Structure formats: structure tokens, C-alpha cells
A and B are shown apart, each in its own frame.
Chain A
Amino acid sequence: EDQVTQSPEALRLQEGESSSLNCSYTVSGLRGLFWYRQDPGKGPEFLFTLYSAGEEKEKERLKATLTKKESFLHITAPKPEDSATYLCAVQTSGTYKYIFGTGTRLKVLA
């Protein structure tokens, strides 16, 4: 069965303390992996799409990487405004549906 697991469930960082969020997946074949940011009471906001192992994408303090089994979202020198829930989704080769993980709730303290 296709599955997406995100870890940790929650993460508290001091401002400037870099860290990584993990998204591991077990799927029959990968069409694409998507990262979203979701603020409380709002819909998910698109961040990145990764298609193949070895691919990397960057945006401001965020960098997403992809291997054959997992993706990492690296946050460099985070700021309080980076506090949000980060969602990972995969689209498998057998279907066009997105399979979402449960997310990582990030809190960055000033």
C-alpha cells in the first residue's frame, strides 16, 4: 500500500537554529513529490515539486531534496515567520491522486 510518513510530528527551534524535516514514502512509482506550507486556519500553500532522485529546489531559507525513499526540507537560520505546518504529498505512477502525510508542525521561537 502506498504510504507517506512525516517526521518529526512537531519541532520547536530557536530563531537561527537550522534543522530538517523528513518525508519518507513507500510507493509503487513516483510521479512527483510536493511540499506545502499551511498556516493555522488557512489552506496549504505550494512550496516545491520534486520529480526525481537527486533533485534539489531552494526558496529563501528553504531547500528541498529528494532520494529514492525520502525527501528532506532543510530550513536554514529559521525566523518566527517560518512557523507553520509543513505538508508533504506524493503522486504515484499508478494514479494521479496526491497521498499526503500528516505534516510537521514547526514552531520557531524568537
Chain B
Amino acid sequence: ETGVTQTPRHLVMGMTNKKSLKCEQHLGHNAMYWYKQSAKKPLELMFVYSLEERVENNSVPSRFSPECPNSSHLFLHLHTLQPEDSALYLCASSQAWTSTDTQYFGPGTRLTVL
């Protein structure tokens, strides 16, 4: 595997379900990101982890819970979601958070909340 991978690629869940999104980066980077992409809206930064420590939380509802067990893996735990949470969730990584290093994106997880 190369680059940034995400699983699953598609997810359909009910409002009462609990699910998790997984991201893995094979680039040796130290920073990882979760973004939300909704139709006709700019990418919205949700969370940033630098060296496994959360450094940014952009006022994201508590029904989204991130986890970064090591610098290569990032999870987004989902529970009690709303239909408006349906979107493409993108993971990205960069060499460092506090730099102008390029962010590289995974393919995304298309989430549908019924």
C-alpha cells in the first residue's frame, strides 16, 4: 500500500448506529487530518493530530470522536449521527503540522446517514 488509505470507502448507517472510519498513511508523516466535504461547500477541517496529540478541534460535535493511536493510523468514531452528517470524509497527512508542507489526501469514505 502507498500513500493514504481509508476504509471503508462507502458506509450507510442509521442514526442510532455506532461505526468507525479508519485512515492509514504510508508516507512517514507526523501530522494527520480529518476533513468533511459536503456538496458545493469548501472542505471543512475537523481535527488535526500532530505526533499523536490532538492540536485542532474545529468546533466539531461530540458525536464525532477522533482517535490517533500512532502516527500512521487515525480513526473517526461515529455515534448518534444526523442526516446532515452525510458527506465525504477525507483523511490527509503531512510531514509536520507547523509548516507549509503539502497535505496528501486519501480517497475518502462516502457516509450516508439514514
- Identify the A interface with B (CB < 8 A): 4, 31-32, 34, 36, 41-46, 49, 51, 87, 89, 91, 96-103
Contact = CB atoms under 8 A, between A and B. Distances in A.
Nearest to B99: A96
A44 B42 CA distance: 12
Contacts, number: 50
Given A31-B100, A49-B100, A96-B98, A43 B108 contact: yes
A9 B40 CA distance: 9
Given A91-B100, A96-B99, A102-B40, 17 more contacts: A31-B100, A32-B100, A36-B105, A41-B110, A42-B107, A42-B108, A43-B90, A43-B108, A44-B43, A44-B90, A46-B104, A51-B100, A96-B97, A97-B48, A98-B103, A100-B43, A101-B42
A87 B110 contact: no
Contact of A43 (B40, B48, B98, B105): B105
Interface of B: 4, 6, 40-43, 45, 48, 56, 90, 92, 97-100, 102-108, 110
Given A42-B108, A43-B108, A102 B4 contact: no
Contacts of B98: 96
A4, A96, A98, A103: most-surrounded residue (chain B CB, <10 A): A96
A87 B35 CA distance: 14
